[in-house]
Structure 1
Amino acid sequence: MSKTAVVIGGGIVGLCSALALQDRGFRVTVIEADREGRAASWGNAGHVAIEQVEPLASWSMIRSAPRRLFSAGGALALPIRDAPRWLPFAKGMVRAAGRFEAGRAALDSLLARTMPAWRGLVAMLGESALLKETGHFVLWESEASAAAGLKAWGSADIGTARFRPIDEDERAQFETLLARRPAGGIRFENTGQVADLSKLADTLSQALQAARGEIRHARVSALTIEDGSARAILEGDERLDADVMVVAAGARSGELMRSIGTHAPIIAERGYHLHAPSADWPELPPVVFEDRSMIVTRFDNGLRAASFVELGDIDSPPDPRKWKRLRAHIDALGLPIGSDAVKWMGARPTLPDYLPAIGRSERASNLIYAFGHQHLGLTLAPITAQIIGALATNTAAPVALAPYDIERFAKGR
């Protein structure tokens, strides 16, 4: 290993990218500030969402925002305290809605390659059981919402995904499991799920370290450019050099890019979950309760209910009302997530056009970035890692990279 790489960020995108670099001959060091696994990579619903081709930066989503607000019973929270954060983001989202078709095409390009990339990753790890390709359910609780939901999914671009109405056996099973009989539902047949996010994190870390990679728990406070090359400055003023420097720090990536003059208008899109380590729930694929904007996932290590889109500051304290609302949904549906459930809150890294930033910096020849994957970080991590590997070795990337260039947010572009 004659070349070195530093990956800033030990979430799913960072670890997958580190392994891709290692596979291409780099000696890799991952710098991760989070010692407790609180990142969105490990607190999400575990859903490999190849159906989410249409970016949320759309006129239909913007028009529906008022009825989706938390104050109206929905999952969208815009805390007044964080208005200086989400107001500029909202303006950028409005601008991006005018480029919806380009955004859809960009996501489609990545999502079409997602499942093959995931299969390759778990095969390389020797843990094929980590990936379940058993689809997921979407349920509705009223005849009106079932009709509207089915119509919406029927007209949506879902890429390579496919779905069908739930059959009678599936309907009967949900009637047995739930306190409220579903009025309708569909089953996506070829989406995926990670069986155990904790095991995935451990397996990725162990694979990296087994091949002489290193994971350091430290915080990168800034980047600097010297002689055309990027260096990472750790808290305490230690400086790291590498042949390749990768920024994959999730919602904190924006401040790092800003330290070298790159505008990356990322926002912390915070989500909440309640996780029951043991629950009397069958081995079903994830279930989306669309009327409640909630997804329930059976992992190998328990049952999790997750929800909410809270736009704000990554360091703002969590809002206990979100867990209270989750508990109300859980109780209304009769889900077996008891009072001993573990609370979690984490921040998805989101850019206003709901496209990731993946590419090589114009400011430093050794600086590569991969962040801003919004709800699709888990989904897109393996294909993103393939792109990072290609960029680091100056070989052809599996997709055209222009749509993901971070300089798209620069003035006049």
Structure 2
Amino acid sequence: MHDRTTQGVIQPPPGMRAVVGLVALATIAAIVAAWLLTPIAPPTAPRRALAVQPVVPPTVVPPVEPIEYADVDPDTAREINAAVPFSTDPNPAARPLILKQPELDRTRAQDCLAAAMLYEAGSGDPEGQRAVAQVVINRMRHPAFPATICGVVFQGQERSTGCQFTFTCDGALLRIPRPEAWEDARKRAGAMLDGAVYKPVGHSTHYHTDWVVPYWSSSLDKVVAVNTHLFFRWTGWWGTPGAFRGRHAGPEPVVPKIGFLSEAHRAGVEGQETLIDALDVAALGVQPVLQDGQGTFVMLFDRRFSANDFPALAASVCADRPFCKLFAWSDRARLPRELPLTDAQTATASFTYLRNRAAKFERALWNCAEHKRPNPNECMKPRLILPTAQTQGFRLEPAAKRASVPEPAPAPATPPLVGPPPVQRTIEPGR
């Protein structure tokens, strides 16, 4: 008999050892193959949870939160929004509002409402405009909000993140709408103040587009979708008809920032409340670094200011000048030291503002490499600046030898909000 122990450990026969070794090798090979063939998913970044606020009791007026969005891309935002179910509770229509006020107050209310409808929903969306108007009227009747139409629309407009309707603080008012688009919005606003009701949104007091996620959206009842906008009402008693018993408490305040649209907002009367921009450049110590006396300004908008404040600062500097060009930098080291500015210098600006009232043109643009904007149309276009050495000796052929340039195609009959008019530039032949 063979001794199959080594220091007390039983050893298998030689033939069995070979079998055990083959089984072990086969097992290891199977594990390695499975590991190699299994796809490795990329790590997923943790998503910030949207806090759900408790239902506010009827004895406590719910707070009105400033605008704050989750930092997600549009596709992810749509997924998050789609995951929130619509409320199955009743959605009764709001009561009609018939606004009986003196003519001036009535006109101011109508123009504030029209501005919200036009800038929030756009000129080509009558249904969206009426939905926005109904939200404004619902808010005016709710104790959590101001009791005037203009007070509701421009609530928090002095703060870049405090405004309740984003067009009042994001520079959108620099876009001048077509006269017919403005008049159409005014007519719809007038109808809403004469008792028209947009029933689908019920008693909604909040809304947002489906490609953003405000942090309050999961805390409210999701009521309805109107095109790309989602409408919400407060949960509990504060979202029921009983909470909307407030009445209009005029007079309507004057809002100078829509004076370019509304004559009723161009001047107030003695003792009349005025909603003015809080960004007083003189009080803030913001003065032009350079100016040429002809409406061109170079400014330093330092880190005290949000990028959303830039249009209000620019409008304050330009005051009532019919023509104004303003170039601002956030970095003092990049500030030019003399005028006129070169193309290379203007390409490094953090923000530009151009006003030409004779041409009915006004535009603000941001350097989006420094300040991200939700709308890419608000971004300055990158410029290709050729070094001087490359441009020496470059000459265009005389005009007689150049092919004629076709006239630009006419603009569409009903464009959206007016942007800059087509600019025709003539390139002089080199001398």
* TM above 0.5: no
Of Structure 1 and Structure 2, the greater helix share is in: 1
The bucket for the TM-score relative to the shorter chain is: under 0.3
Higher relative contact order (CA 8 A, sep 6+): 1
Of Structure 1 and Structure 2, the greater strand share is in: 1
How high is the TM-score relative to the length of structure 2?
A: 0.20
How high is the TM-score relative to the length of structure 1?
A: 0.21
